[in-house]
Structure 1
Amino acid sequence: MPKNARVILCNGPYESNGVVAHRNFRLQGLLAALTVHEHQCVLEDTWEWNMVKLVVNGQVVFSCNTKQLEF
């Protein structure tokens, strides 16, 4: 990834305790790691269930199921 890149974190809703909603809890570690490396992070809610995508320069560079991320 280029230095000081603008990274868009697209995250969809997921179910937790019977409630479906957009939550950022699982993204905190990822946000911290990107910020340490001086990237500008933008959170963007999407409607793709259980999905997290990192978009840099218009390209998806990483994607996974939200529940695979650890706190």
Structure 2
Amino acid sequence: MPENAKVIVRYGPYRACGVVDYRTSRLEGLQAFLNKHGHTVELTKCEDWNTVELMVNGQLVYKCDINNLDYGGDGELDELCREASDAVLKAF
């Protein structure tokens, strides 16, 4: 329903090059894709490893493993970005 929703993206740390840390490089495509479709994105860290959760109006609408998102890019070729965007549109 919400065409111009405020989407809170909760993300946890993940292992890259042997180091576990919070990184946003795998979220760039998701952010770009959601922004392109009129949504406002706010990034928030969470404690859960390898997790990305999208919250709209306080409701969890989408969850995936951060390692499954494409690194960098604009999100256009990432199927998970399309799934996440569809989930945001279906939120109450």
- TM-score range relative to shorter protein: over 0.9
1:31 is paired with a residue whose SS is helix
Counterparts of 1:3 and 1:64, CA distance in 2 = 22
1:49 is paired with a residue whose SS is coil
Runs of 4+ in 1 over 4 A off after TM superposition: none
Normalising by structure 1, what TM-score? 0.95
Higher RCO, Cα 8 Å, sep 6+: 1
The count of residues paired between Structure 1 and Structure 2 equals 71
More helix by share: 2
Normalising by structure 2, what TM-score? 0.74
More strand by share: 1
Say yes or no: does 1:52 pair with 2:52.
yes
The Cα offsets for residues 8-63 of structure 1, whole Å up to 9 and x where unpaired, read as: 00000001111110000000111001001111100000010000000001111110
Counterparts of 2:64 and 2:37, CA distance in 1 = 21
Unaligned runs of 5+ in 1: none
What fraction of aligned residue pairs are identical, expressed as a percent? 46
Counterparts of 1:66 and 1:32, CA distance in 2 = 16
Unaligned runs of 5+ in 2: 72-92
